[in-house]
């Protein structure tokens, strides 16, 4: 009888502990490539940035980056080579392993694509992986 109770207790604890997944994170820099990516005044046309994730994701897979459009006097950071970093966001997943792919679309006020690109990174369980997505401007934004 005692063993039965003990088994039930352990099973209950197992059920309770099943939801204790550990999140893994990505720090993603969205970098504008090409010559446009070095021209700060071109960034004023960016009104929104849409990100779609795929792969080992656990939560939302499509979202818009925050704080867009930027203010006129926003000081964009730059990556190596002088390329403008449009924005940096964090993305979390509870998946223990796998790869997450980020598809980024930079849009203007009419929701037309100004640039797009994708990148992926492998999950480091419980860690924070820094990665970047290079978006290439379309011809109209060059």
Partner 1 sequence: MRAMTTSTTAKRHVAAQGSTENEREAGGGGGAGRSRPDGRTPGAGAPRGPSKVRAALAGALLVALGGAPALATPAVELPVAKAASTGAPGVDLRLDGRAAGRLLAESRDSDASGGDDKSKADEKPGEKSDDVKMTVTKGAPPATKSTGSDDTFAFVKDWPFWAIVGGVVIVGASVYMINRNSNQDRSCPSVYNAGCFGAK
Our CB check for partner 1 shows the closer of 34 and 92 to be 92
Region near partner 1 per CB under 8 A, out of 20-28, 106-114, 119-127, 134-142: 20-28
User: What's the Rg (C-alpha) of the chain?
Assistant: 21
> Is residue 6 at the binding interface for partner 1, with CB under 8 A as the rule?
yes
* CA distances in angstroms from 98 to 19, 28, 40, listed in the order given: 19, 17, 36
93 binds partner 1 (CB under 8 A): yes
CA 56, chain centre distance (Å): 13
Residues 99-128 that bind partner 1 (CB under 8 A): none
Contact present, 76 and 37 (Cβ < 8 Å) = no
The span of 39-47, 52-60, 106-114, 131-139 binding partner 1 (CB under 8 A) equals 52-60
Is residue 30 part of the contact set for partner 1 (CB under 8 A)?
Answer: yes
Q: Could you give the CA distance from residue 91 to residue 69 in angstroms, rounded to a whole number?
A: 20
């Amino acid at each position: 009888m005692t063993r039965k109770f003990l088994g039930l207790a352990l099973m209950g604890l197992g059920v309770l502990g099943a939801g204790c997944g550990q999140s893994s994170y990505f720090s993603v820099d969205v970098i504008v490539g090409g010559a446009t990516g070095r021209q700060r005044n071109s960034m004023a046309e960016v009104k929104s940035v849409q990100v779609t994730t795929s792969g080992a994701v656990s939560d939302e897979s499509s979202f818009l980056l925050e704080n867009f459009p930027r203010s006129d006097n926003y000081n964009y950071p730059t990556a190596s080579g002088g390329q403008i970093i449009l924005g940096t966001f964090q993305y979390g997943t509870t998946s223990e392993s796998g790869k997450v792919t980020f598809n980024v679309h930079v849009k203007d006020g009419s929701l037309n694509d100004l640039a797009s690109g994708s990148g992926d990174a492998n999950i480091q369980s419980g860690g924070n992986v820094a990665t970047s997505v290079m978006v290439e401007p379309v011809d109209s934004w060059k």
